[in-house]
Amino acid sequence: MNPTIDRRIVEALDAVDAAIAAHAAGSDAPLSMTMLARVKSELKRMREQTSPRGYSPTFPRFVMDWPDESGLVKLLVDVAYEYGRSK
C-alpha cells in the first residue's frame, strides 16, 4: 500500500478514536457511536489489505449525509476516495 494513503488511514483512525472518546465522555461528537464503530472497522480493514482491489469501503455513502462541523466526514470521504484511486 502507498505510504501516503496508509498515513491518511491512520489519521482517520485517530480522528474516529477521538470522536468515540468524546461520545464516551458525554461530549458532542460527530456521527453516532454505531457509525463510528463501523467506520473504524472498515478503516482497519482498508489498512490490512495489501491491495485496495480486494476491498472497497462502504461508509462514504452513509457518512456523507451527516453534518460535518468537525471536518471528520470530509476526512473520511477523502481517505476513501484516495484509497479507491490507488487501485
Query: pLDDT category, 73, cuts 50, 70, 90?
Result: very high
Instruction: Indicate the residue type of 52.
Output: P
How far apart, in whole angstroms, are the C-alpha atoms of residue 17 and residue 40?
A: 8
Distance CA 85, CA 41 (A): 20
Nearest to 1 by CA among 66, 73, 82: 82
- Could you tell me which of 53, 48, 24 has the C-alpha nearest to residue 36? 24
Q: Tell me which residue range forms the domain holding 40.
A: 3-85
* Structural domains counted in the chain: 1
> For 2-56, what is each residue's pLDDT tens digit?
889 999 999 999 999 999 999 999 999 999 999 999 999 999 999 988 677 888 8
